Amino acid sequence: MNAPTALNRDLRADFPGLVTVEGKPWHYLDTAATAQKPRAVIEAMTRALGEDYATVHRGVYSRSADMTMAYEAARRRVAALIGGKEDELVFTRGATEAINLVAKTWGRANLKAGDRILLSQLEHHSNIVPWQMLAQEVGADIDVVPLTDDHQIDLDAAEAMLTEQHKIVALAHVSNVLGSVLDAKRAADMAHKVGAKLLLDGCQAVAHMPVDVAALTCDFYVFSAHKLYGPTGIGALWARADILADMPAWEGGGAMIDRVTFEGTTYGSGVQRFEAGTPAITEAITFAAAVDYVSEVGLGAMHEAEAKLVERLRRELTAMNDVTVYGPANSAGIVSFTIDDIHPHDLGTILDEANVAIRAGHHCAQPLMDYLGVPATARASFGLYSTQEDVTALLDGIARTRKIFGKGI
């Protein structure tokens, strides 16, 4: 999975979206929001919607049987990416739905008034709001772990905060704003010591580094396909098999049932209990195609290449007296920064004129922005197709923006 040989070819050529309508290079530095799609993924979607298309789990005709096999094979390949098994992985609409699923099933069944939930200061809204809703419903309380000086989750503080009242610890494996990487194994050990479960938001992790849920010893792991070079509208919840077996169903409909009568319904077993209705068939198959693609390239090689881009960008930004760079030096593929007196939205607009695309805003992490004392940051995020030329274009665009605003001249 981690062989670096595929990086020796021009990976940008695999991505038709990295060229403007005028045929010029598009310097796409917003992969943390959503990744561009390689031709292998696009072609897989075309086949699944075309000559291969049929329903799954229902038809007795051969194409339906073939599609069912492809759908379940996709589940197996996606689970294997993170060291899991197919009977531990539920397809969802994305990481957001996966977290909501855990909160509304496991959470409702296991939390009561007086229990506590532990989050961190850097969480995405998707890993805050579902827990707030659950806490309000059952009467639980939420504690928030602060950050270290270099903007990592302070696990020493977390360890001091944890009590036997804590039932769930939900943390980002990699911050979508800061790129900081959690010591997930330590977090799991700490949570389990007080009898709590650990949920990891892996959206930014799976696209940048190898993940092994067994080695991490987490209880839940969630991620989305579109950040992993796959389609939108689908993601995954991995949960330990024993936990998944005890979780109640959460949406009712076809596929998740055993027997339905007007007197009552019995539910199916296994992962399909959480996949009511016709599933995202083509999206699941295309999700697996994206997994195959990144596995060919090698996540270890990808992380190494992205680290070089991060190191250069952080070094050159830090040398500018009017620039503040956030996050640790070894951030995973993400660099967030602000320039004094230049709003990130203005920077993003001017960069767009030079075919450089970054993210500007609060990045669905408003509590983190409050913590940092800024309304927004500019964020450059790298993917497997990112190059030193992209960094150069960004730095040139920043220089132009500073001149427009009367800086650096």
Q: Where are the domains of the chain?
A: 5-30+298-404, 43-295
Half-sphere exposure of 150 (CA within 13 A, CB side): 9
Q: Write out pLDDT tens, residues 217-236.
A: 999 999 999 999 999 999 99
Q: Looking at 364, 369, 395, 399, which residue is catalytic?
A: 364
1 pLDDT higher than 50: no
Closest CA to 200 of 306, 108, 95, 75: 95
When pLDDT is averaged across residues 360-377 and rounded to a whole number, the result is 97
Q: CB–CB of 197/243 below 8 Å?
A: yes
Buried b (16+ CB within 10 A) or exposed e, 205-239: bbbbbbbebeebbbbbbbbbbbbbbbbebbbbbbb
Predicted pLDDT of residue 44: 98
Res. 58 pLDDT band, cuts 50 70 90: confident
Cβ neighbours of residue 97 closer than 8 Å, sequence gap 6 or more: 235
Higher pLDDT, 211 or 256: 211
pLDDT bracket for residue 4 (50, 70, 90): very low
For residues 57-72, give the mean pLDDT. Answer: 92
pLDDT of 7 reads 57
Regarding beta strands 220-224 and 235-239, do their DSSP bridges make them parallel or antiparallel, or are they unpaired?
A: antiparallel
Instruction: Tell me the pLDDT of the chain averaged across its residues.
Output: 95
Task: Return the half-sphere exposure (C-beta side, CA atoms, 13 A cut-off) of residue 334.
Answer: 31
Domain boundaries 43-295, CATH class:
alpha beta
The SS3 assignment for 268 reads coil
d(CA 29, CA 360): 11
43-295 matches 5-30+298-404 in CATH topology = no
Higher pLDDT, 58 or 38: 38
- What topology does CATH give the domain 5-30+298-404? Aspartate Aminotransferase, domain 1 (3.90.1150)
Total-model pTM: 0.95
**Average pLDDT of the segment spanning 237-262:** 93
Q: Are strands 166-172 and 197-201 parallel, antiparallel or unpaired?
A: parallel
Residue 377 has pLDDT above 70, yes or no: yes
| pLDDT digit string, tens, across residues 330-355 | 999 999 999 999 999 999 999 999 99
Interior/surface letters 99-135, b for 16+ CB within 10 angstroms, e for the rest: bbbbbbbbbbeebeeebbbbbbbbbbebbbbbbeebb
Contact partners, residue 132, CB within 8 Å, separation at least 6: 142
| pLDDT-derived band at 269, boundaries 50, 70, 90 | confident
Residue 5 has pLDDT above 50, yes or no: no
Query: Which tens digit of pLDDT belongs to each residue from 285-329?
Result: 999 999 999 999 999 999 999 999 999 999 999 999 999 999 999
Question: For residue 8, what pLDDT is reported?
Answer: 61
Integer CA distances (angstroms), 14 to 7, 41, 232, 248, 390, in order: 12, 10, 19, 42, 17
Greater confidence (95 vs 5) lies with: 95
Q: Which tokens in the block code for residue 323?
A: 């620039």
pLDDT at 60 (0 to 100): 86
Closest CA to 381 of 129, 190, 179: 179
Task: Report the candidate in 171, 126, 167, 169 with the shortest Cα–Cα distance to residue 152.
Answer: 171
Calculate mean pLDDT across residues 22-41.
97
User: What residues form DSSP beta bridges with 92?
Assistant: 235
Mean pLDDT, rounded, for 120-131: 98
What pLDDT, on a 0 to 100 scale, did the predictor assign at position 201? 98
> What number is the average pLDDT over the span 367-383?
97
Q: What is the CA radius of gyration of the chain?
A: 22
CA distance 262 to 76: 35
Of 1-15, 146-160, 243-257, 354-368, the poorest mean pLDDT is in 1-15
- pLDDT tens for residues 163-183? 999 999 999 999 999 999 999
What one-character-per-residue DSSP string does 203-222 give?
TTTTTTS---HHHHT-SEEE
Instruction: Enumerate helices (H) and strands (E) in the chain, giving the number of each.
Output: 14, 15
| 218 part of the active site | no
List CB contacts of 201: < 8 A, sequence separation 6 or more: 95, 99, 123, 124, 126, 127, 170, 171, 172, 173, 222, 223
Cα angle, residue 217 at apex, residues 175 and 86 outer, rounded to 5°: 95
